[in-house]
Amino acid sequence: GAVVSQHPSWVICKSGTSVKIECRSLDFQATTMFWYRQFPKQSLMLMATSNEGSKATYEQGVEKDKFLINHASLTLSTLTVTSAHPEDSSFYICSARGTSDSTDTQYFGPGTRLTVL
Amino acid sequence: GQNIDQPTEMTATEGAIVQINCTYQTSGFNGLFWYQQHAGEAPTFLSYNVLDGLEEKGRFSSFLSRSKGYSYLLLKELQMKDSASYLCAVIGNTPLVFGKGTRLSVIA
């Protein structure tokens, strides 16, 4: 149980384009989903927390107009990187926390590797 | 403030035992997690501690002392596939805060 999927696994795009990444909890309902970014050999950096049906909470330094997050249902959250630039190239990972999980355990998706040319 | 410290790198021999330490200072405490992350992959959940003491799960065990702000992950009977980064993460009054990870290399 507690499987989280992400799509796509990797994406290469031109500078200035927008990229949408989907995060789905496959076998549980997730009231809260998290989006992380990880640069090579560095730890995960939390970008934002999204709760189903409400606006995402962004961490300091993360541009909410650039990284659009939508959490439309209890099983789906999307991250859209708008007008992507080479410095946005990174490994983007989502995680989800179940509605009935009293331990607050977060389960991670497999990640999406974004390369902006 | 939030601060989580763990060693950057460790090396151990196949079949041996290794202990990865983690110390933390966080606003509030609602649990400590250990995750394993292989290069190029997302983290996978290993353990969760919220009460003091040792939690054993197969070859992996995790210990917590809340009064000392200290945890360790113990890996027994090391295998080559255990070569990975091990992330200590604490949940307090904020979403999960990760340490920088300990890169473990298992050698023959």
| Secondary structure element (H or E) that encloses residue A35, with its range | strand A30-38
Average pLDDT of A54-83?
Answer: 92
Task: Tell me which chain B residues have a C-beta less than 8 angstroms from the C-beta of A34.
Answer: 95-96
Q: Are B33 and B47 a contacting pair, CB within 8 Å?
A: yes
Using CB atoms within 10 Å of the CB of residue A79, give its burial: 0 to 12 exposed, 13 to 18 middle, 19+ buried: buried
Exposure string of A22-44, with b = 16+ CB inside 10 Å and e = fewer, is bbbbeebebbbbbbbbbeeeebb
Query: Which of A7, A44, A45, A51 is the best mutation test for B, with the most CBs of B within 10 A?
Result: A44
Q: B64 is written with which tokens?
A: 């917590």
Distance from CA of A82 to the nearest CA of B (A): 23
For residues B99 and B4, is the Cβ–Cβ distance under 8 A?
yes
Range with top average pLDDT, A29-38, A100-109, B17-26: B17-26
Band of residue B92 on the pLDDT scale cut at 50, 70, 90: confident
> Which chain B residues are closer than 8 Å to A95 by Cβ?
96
In angstroms, the CA A14 to CA B7 distance is 38
- Quick one: which of B97, B84, B90 has its CA closest to B43? B84
Per-residue model confidence (pLDDT) at position A71: 87
Query: Residue B41 pLDDT > 90, yes or no?
Result: no
Answer whether B108 touches A (CB < 8 Å): no
Residues A38-68 pLDDT 10s: 888 788 889 999 988 888 999 999 999 999 9
Amino acid identity for residue B86 in this structure? Y
CB A38 within 8 A of CB A45: yes
Q: Mean pLDDT over all residues of chain A?
A: 89
> Which band of pLDDT confidence, cut at 50, 70 and 90, is reported for residue B80?
very high
Which residue did the predictor score with more confidence, A99 or B96? Answer: B96
Which residues of chain A are within 8 Å of residue B33 when distances are taken between CB atoms?
A: 105-106
